[in-house]
């Protein structure tokens, strides 16, 4: 599985007066994700893949007040609580789009996001998930059924190419370990298998698999 990130600028930044507290509540809302069209990263999310995952994420995270995101992308697929800036309150399908609304929290990173909004900064959102890719007949990288949404983050400049995310983070392989995602460098295993002759291939594959399992 690879870390997959997608950015969108089609959102609104809102500051609404909370009548109970007399203070402003800050929200971001708009299109958080899109299906059935090739995005700027050259990837396509089939509607069934994306919307099924949105349903799961809603049930396991949004409805349980666990759908938190960070200010800027971290260096991995997990959500770091010390960098949380907002929590998604609504995530739903609108045609091929996924509309979302998130409340900016009163955390250290949330306060930075609020200040950026007050100063008129241009912000966007970027989804972060895990999944595999496969080229379709048109040569477009299509996200597969194993896609899992990890978070939707706030990014300061969604129009800028995120070379670190695309070049480094997406080049890593990740696996599940008791509900926790861990990075695994599988290049050495691949080299071992490639160097093995056909006669000993089955035994070598078993050996590699056993070694892999022992390190998880």
Q: Burial level of 37, CB count in 10 A (0-12/13-18/19+)?
A: exposed
- How would you label 126-159 residue by residue, b for 16+ Cβ within 10 Å and e otherwise? bbbbbbebeeeeeeebbbeeebebbbbbbbeebe
**What amino acid positions are annotated as catalytic residues?**
73, 126
CA distance readout (Å), 120 to 12, 70, 123: 12, 19, 9
- Strands 24-34 and 11-17 come out as antiparallel
120, 111 Cβ separation under 8 angstroms: no
Residue 97 CA, chain-centre distance (Å), reads 16
């Amino acid at each position: 599985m690879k870390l997959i990130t997608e950015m969108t600028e089609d959102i609104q930044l809102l500051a609404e007066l909370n009548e109970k507290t007399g203070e402003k509540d800050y929200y971001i809302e708009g299109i958080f994700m899109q299906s059935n069209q090739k995005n700027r990263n050259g990837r396509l999310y089939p509607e069934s893949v994306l919307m099924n995952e949105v349903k799961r994420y809603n049930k396991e995270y949004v409805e349980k007040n666990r759908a938190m995101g960070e200010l800027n992308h971290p260096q991995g697929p997990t959500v770091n609580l010390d960098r949380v800036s907002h929590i998604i309150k609504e995530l739903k399908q609108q045609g091929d789009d996924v509309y979302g609304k998130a409340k900016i929290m009163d955390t250290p990173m949330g306060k930075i996001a609020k200040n950026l909004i007050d100063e008129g900064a241009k912000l966007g959102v970027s989804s972060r998930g895990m999944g595999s890719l496969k080229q379709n007949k048109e040569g477009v990288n299509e996200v597969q059924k194993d896609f899992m949404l990890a978070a939707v983050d706030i990014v300061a400049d969604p129009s800028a190419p995120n070379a670190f995310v695309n070049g480094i983070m997406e080049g890593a392989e990740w696996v599940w370990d008791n509900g926790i995602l861990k990075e695994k460098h599988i290049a050495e295993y691949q080299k071992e298998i490639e160097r093995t002759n056909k006669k000993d291939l089955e035994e070598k594959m078993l050996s590699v698999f056993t070694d892999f399992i022992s390190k998880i």
